[in-house]
Structure 1
Amino acid sequence: MSSETQARRIVLAARPQGEPKNTDFRLEGFAVPAPGPGQVLLKTRFLSLDPYMRGRMNDSKSYAPSVALNDPMVGEVVAEVVDSQLDGFARGEHVLAHLGWVSHGLSDGKGLRKIDADQAPLQSYLGVLGMPGFTAYAGLREIGKPRAGETVVVAAASGPVGSLVGQLAQRAGARAVGIAGGARKCQFVKDVLGFDAVLDHRAEDFPAALAAACPDGIDVYFENVGGAVWQAVFPLLNPFGRVPVCGLIADYNGSPALPDGISVPALMRGILTRSLSIRGFINYDLDTLFPDFLAEVGAGVRDGSVLHREDIVDGLENAPQAFIGLLKGSNFGKLLVKVAD
C-alpha cells in the first residue's frame, strides 16, 4: 500500500491561440486514490512530451479526442506499481501507461505493458524503444522502404524519430541526409550518429545546400516538420519517391502560410508527373510490426549499434515550459520529464 497521500496533475486550463503559454496549463493537487478490486495504483517515474500533444489541445476533430478543459493533459508514462488489487501486477513492477501529466493514477490494466529495467533504462521505453522509435521503424519500413544506394532525407534529425530513421536507412544501405536546427544539433547528427550529410535548416542558403547534399535527388523523405523544410525538399524528390508523413511540427501552432509556398495544383502535378507516394500514418496503424521493432532495435540498443539521446527535465511542474520549448525546437533529443525517483 502506498504511504503517499498527495498527488499532482497538470490540466488544460485554456485552449491555446497559436503558441501555447504557461497560462494554458494549471498545476493542481489531489488526494492519491486508493485502488479498488481489479485496479492498480501507479506512480509516474517519467513522462513523455511529444509534438502530437499540441493538436490534442485544440477543440477540433482529429484521429484522437481533444483534451477537455480542466482535464489532465494526455501523455504516456513509465510508472511503478505502488499498490495492486489486480492479478498479474505486483508492487514494484514497472509499466508503460497512458496516465497523462499526473504523478499518480489508477488503472484497470487495460493498455498497460510491463517493461524490464534490466533490459534497458526505464526512460528508453518512452523514446528509442517506445512510441518515437517505433514510429521511425514502422514508417520507414512500411512506407519509406529504402533500398541500397538511395538517398533518405529526414528532418528533425537529432530528435527521437529522426535520429533512428537515419540509422535504419544506413542499415538498409541507403545514404542518410539529416536536417536539424543549429550547429550543436548538426554536429551531433554528423559526428555522433554518423549521418552521411547534415544541413542546418536555419541557414540562409538551406535550399541550395540541401540540393548540393543530394546531387542524385531524394528517394525517401521522412516528414516530421513541414513548413520551409518541405518547400525545399519537394522539388528534389525523384520519380517514385516515397514520403512517410509522420508530423508537421512547424505548422502545429497555426503558423501563417509561406509567401512562396507550393500551390495545391503544383503539389498535385508533382505527385502525378513524378509518381510520388505520400502517405500519412499513425504509429498504431502499423502495430503488427512492433515485435520486429523490439527485436531489431532492442538488440541494437543493447549492443550499442543504435544510438540515441535524451533531454530530461526534472519536476512535473516544469512540463508546460518544456513542452512549449519542444514546439520551438529547444529540446536536444527525446524530451522527458522526470516526475519521481
Structure 2
Amino acid sequence: MNHNHEILITKQDVAPYIYFVCSMAQRGRMYGGLSGKSDYIGGVFDRWINIIPESVIFNKYFLPKIADNLEVISDYYEYDPKKSGIAPDVLGVKIGKKAIPFVEYVNKWRALKNAPQIEVKSFKKGQYMVSLRNQSYDKKYLVMAETNLDSDYLLPFFEQTVIGEDIYNKLKMDDNVFIKENLNKDLSSVTKIKRDNTNLGSLKLITVCLANDFMRYSNLCGEGGSPFYIKEINETRTPKTLPQTMTFSEWINKKIDNLYSWKENKLDNNKKHTLIDVYVENADKIQVLKNSKSSITIYTISKAKINDTELEANKTYIIKFQLLDRSGAKSGEYFMHKSIIDKIPNKEDIMLDNIKQYIR
C-alpha cells in the first residue's frame, strides 16, 4: 500500500454526486441527520461531500489492481436508514455491463453470503482524528481516505452561467461615486474569478482495516463523552534546573505494542473527557516536568517518539491537547489519532482478494 499515492478528483468524478444531492434536496429528502427543506443546498453539499471518495478510490486505485474492466457500484438509492437499514458504501461491482451485487434489498438491506462488506470513511486533510460510529460494522472492511478538496471545488460547475465577463462587469463598483478616501485599502472591489486547475482536489488512502480492529485500537467515547487528543508537540526552552520529575511511562499503560492508553485524565480531571491513545517509543526516556489543563511539558533523556513526532535527546517539549466537544452526542463513537492509523493491521490485500474471489 502506498500512503503517498495521490488520486486526483475531477469534475467528472463529482458530477453524479452533485446530481444525486440536488435530486434529494429538491424533493426535501435529506436523510442522515439533515433537516430537509430548511437546509440550503450549499450547506448540503458540504455535509455530503464525504461520499465522493467511494467511487474515486475504487475506480482509480483498488479495482485496477484486480482487472481493467471493473467499476464500483455506489449507493444512489434514496431511503430512510431507520426504516430500510444501512447499506454498505460499496453495493457491488460491474464487470463490463454485468452487475455483481454485494447486498440485496428485501424490505431491508442485507449482505449476500461471502460478499465483501465495505465502508468508506473520508476525513479532511486538516483533521487530527479518524472516527467511527458502529452501525453494525463489526465484520466489515473500513477504507479510510484523506480528502483535500480545493476550497472552490464547486466553481467549475457554475462556469457556464456564473463565470463570465458580463457577470463580472455587473459586480464592478464605481469608485468615483462612493470612495472619497481609502488610505489603508480596507475597501476593495470584487476579484475576477480565475481557475486554471481542472482538477477539484485529491485524496490519499490512509488505510484499509477491519472495523473490529479499528474499534480495538481506538477509544470509545460514550454518550456525551468528548475526545481529548494531542494537537501538536513543540520544542520549548529547557529550564536551567529541572524540577522533580516522573517518567512518562507512569502516566500511561501499554495497550498493544507501542500503543499506550492514559492511566487517567490528569489534565482537566473531567471524566467525560477521554484522552486519546498515543503511540510512544522510549516512554521511559521521557520525563514529565509539569502539566496544565490542556498541556504536558516533557524532557527527553534520549531520542523518543510520540505519535508521528520525532523527539530529540536532551530537549524540552510542550504537548498541547485539544478537546472535540461532543457533549450533546446521544450515541457512542470510536476515535483514533490519524497520525498513527497505520498501526492497525492492514487488510488491503485481503479485501482485494475477497473481491476478486467473489466476482469471478
Flag whether TM exceeds 0.5 (same fold): no
Structure with greater proportional strand content: 2
Give TM-score scaled by structure 2 length: 0.24
Q: Which has the larger radius of gyration?
A: 2
Structure with greater proportional helix content: 1
